[in-house]
Structure 1
Amino acid sequence: MANEINFDIFYDHNTTNEEVNKELDKLLLVLDKNPNLINKEFGEYNERIFSFFIINSKVGNTGKFDFERLEKVLKFRPDLNYNMYKIDNSSPLHMAIALGFDHEIKNAISEDEILRLMEILVKNGANVTAKELLVTAYSSDKFEIFKYLLDSKIRDTSRIMLSIAADIAIFIGHNGLSVQRKKTQNSKEREFVKTDKFKNFYEDKIKFLEEALKFIKLSEFNSKEIETFIIINSILDNEKAIKILLDNGLCKLAKICDFSIETAKHYNSKKILKLLKDMK
């Protein structure tokens, strides 16, 4: 019976919601006949049956999960800690967080909807301590989910500070400027940092780091990522970003504190140098 399931229908944006319902019901019937298929891989992408209950065109059309059918498939006790599509850090929990990030999805999936799904997944065995959940929430701009993960004692800071630094540099580039490490001063870029456009963008990104630092010590972040964050903000003489680090013990980390001073001197970041002098 599993061979009769049309897995492609779940990816087809032209598929009606009724057709998706019909195929999901077929999957439930297949599992009724043979529950051992719950963790078997099928189709062109070697996907598992459970995947299609959280990712299908109906979810994209409605912005809602079919929690009634989800509860039914969860009764077969699927392993919820596999990588979907054979991609690292793409468990159902990772994918749930990232859902709605794709601009092609017709209806946005609310964070409340995703949080409800996440809570159900965790209740049924999904590993909430899996790697890179926090950065997945950051990259998907899901602040409430980010806070939920921190409240759930997630402490993996991998790529968070690096991603914020990269996003700042990319945003500068999208506005016709560039963050050049070879230049000792970036006057146009520093003028742009003073604009409301940059401030609004920056505040939307930096709130994730500020929230993380309420739960996680700066010393627990990767030192190389901290240095990259310092370099990007020193090029822009963005003292607000460096103040966040100082307020969270930057100068208790001797090597990184010295790195901050040398970097600020190299880029002639006057605001940052003054801040470092006052705070040290």
Structure 2
Amino acid sequence: MKRIFLILFLLFKISVADEINFDIFYDQNITNQQVDKELDRLLFILDKNPNLINKEFGYNERIFSFFIINSKIGNTGKFDFERIEKVLQFKPDLNYNMYRLDYTSPLHMAIVLGINIDGSKWLREDENLKLIKILLKNGADLNTKELLTTAYSANKFEIFSYFLDNGAKDTTRILFSIAADIGIFIGNNGFSIHKNKLENSNERKFARTDIFKKFYENKIKFLKELVKFIELDKIDLKEIESFIIINSILDNKSAIQILLDNGLCELTKSCEFLKDTANHYDSKEILKLLDDAK
């Protein structure tokens, strides 16, 4: 009898797995009602076989993924938190990467969902943040790599601040990303900026325009928030150096002031690097800052 029961159970498990078809969630023409019906069907399947909650189907697809990524969210601009809470009762592992790509965990995706290719947004940031709080409450790892960088890249300042306030520590690529974005913005506005160029008068003039200042303030607020929670000696030295180089080229004293105010010259190597770099590019405003700091 036990053997017959086991065979029947395995047959049921196989048949249930076979009937799960995620293609419908990729169909842009699916209605909201059809999405609801399919999500309810997934909940029914899980109720019959909870062990499927962490099973990988097809191209690293898991049942939970489609509760936070489906066309209904795009149509309504809102997550279906009622059904999300229901699927979370099956205790899914929330620390997997979707699509077999790095930094595509549900937590990473919760940050970037709602952003179009052109940077415009169709989800309010508080909607993303509500989902993030639910995921963290249910086992998502706050120390997953590059959460802060993902929030920065998505220009989600409220989420960035929330992560820091709740103990996120991984600062990988944040300063490098800010430095790179400054360089890209300068280039996109018709100027040439690279570390082997010593004459940068035109670039420095542009860095004092309102156009640059508006862009810069939107980026530098992330660094200002970061150093409220993370000491500079916890940030990769090479990233600090990249940040110093591009702001020395522009003689951007306000960016360097943030580093000095947060103990840069307590880090001997970094302080010496700043002095050498400012001298190399004849960054008069930054050199004056260093003189005043003595």
The bucket for the TM-score relative to the shorter chain is: over 0.9
State the alpha-carbon separation in 2 of the partners of residues 174 and 28 from structure 1: 49
Q: CA deviation at 1:18?
A: 1.7
Equivalent residues of 2:116, 2:122 under 8 A apart = no
Equivalent residues of 1:6, 1:23 under 8 A apart = no
Q: CA deviation at 1:106?
A: 8.8
> Is the partner of 2:255 in helix, strand or coil?
helix
Per the alignment, residue 9 of structure 1 pairs with 24
State the alpha-carbon separation in 2 of the partners of residues 74 and 31 from structure 1: 11
Aligned: 1:147 with 2:130? no
Equivalent residues of 1:39, 1:79 under 8 A apart = yes
Equivalent residues in 2 for 1:1-280 (5 A)? 1-43=16-58, 45-103=59-117, 108-280=122-294
Amino acid at match of 1:29: F
State the alpha-carbon separation in 2 of the partners of residues 56 and 185 from structure 1: 51
Residues 62, 105 of structure 1: alpha-carbon distance in 2 compared, 3 angstrom cutoff? farther
TM-score, length of structure 1 as denominator length: 0.95
State the alpha-carbon separation in 1 of the partners of residues 277 and 115 from structure 2: 35
Amino acid at match of 2:43: L
Q: CA deviation at 1:116?
A: 1.1
State the alpha-carbon separation in 1 of the partners of residues 121 and 264 from structure 2: 42
Residues 178, 82 of structure 1: alpha-carbon distance in 2 compared, 3 angstrom cutoff? same
The percent of aligned pairs where both chains have the same amino acid is 67
Question: Alignment length, in residue pairs?
Answer: 279
> Is the partner of 2:92 in helix, strand or coil?
coil
Structure 1 runs (4+) greater than 4 angstroms displaced: 104-107
Equivalent residues of 2:115, 2:121 under 8 A apart = no
State the alpha-carbon separation in 2 of the partners of residues 105 and 117 from structure 1: 20
TM-score, length of structure 2 as denominator length: 0.91
Equivalent residues of 1:64, 1:113 under 8 A apart = yes
Q: CA deviation at 1:3?
A: 2.6
Question: Quick check: 140-149 or 121-130, which moved more?
Answer: 121-130
Q: CA deviation at 1:107?
A: 6.1
Deviations 1:169-204 (A, max 9, x none): 111111111212111021111111011110010000
Residues 183, 104 of structure 1: alpha-carbon distance in 2 compared, 3 angstrom cutoff? closer
State the alpha-carbon separation in 1 of the partners of residues 200 and 30 from structure 2: 51
Q: CA deviation at 1:140?
A: 0.7
- Structure label with greater radius of gyration: 2
Equivalent residues of 1:60, 1:107 under 8 A apart = no
Q: CA deviation at 1:63?
A: 1.4
Equivalent residues of 1:190, 1:236 under 8 A apart = yes
Deviations 1:193-234 (A, max 9, x none): 011110010000000010010111111110000000000111
CA-based RMSD of the aligned residues comes to 1.5
State the alpha-carbon separation in 2 of the partners of residues 256 and 106 from structure 1: 37
State the alpha-carbon separation in 1 of the partners of residues 205 and 20 from structure 2: 58
Amino acid at match of 2:147: L
Equivalent residues of 1:81, 1:91 under 8 A apart = yes
Q: CA deviation at 1:104?
A: 7.1
Amino acid at match of 1:16: T
State the alpha-carbon separation in 1 of the partners of residues 66 and 168 from structure 2: 27
Amino acid at match of 2:288: K
Question: Quick check: 199-208 or 5-14, which moved more?
Answer: 5-14
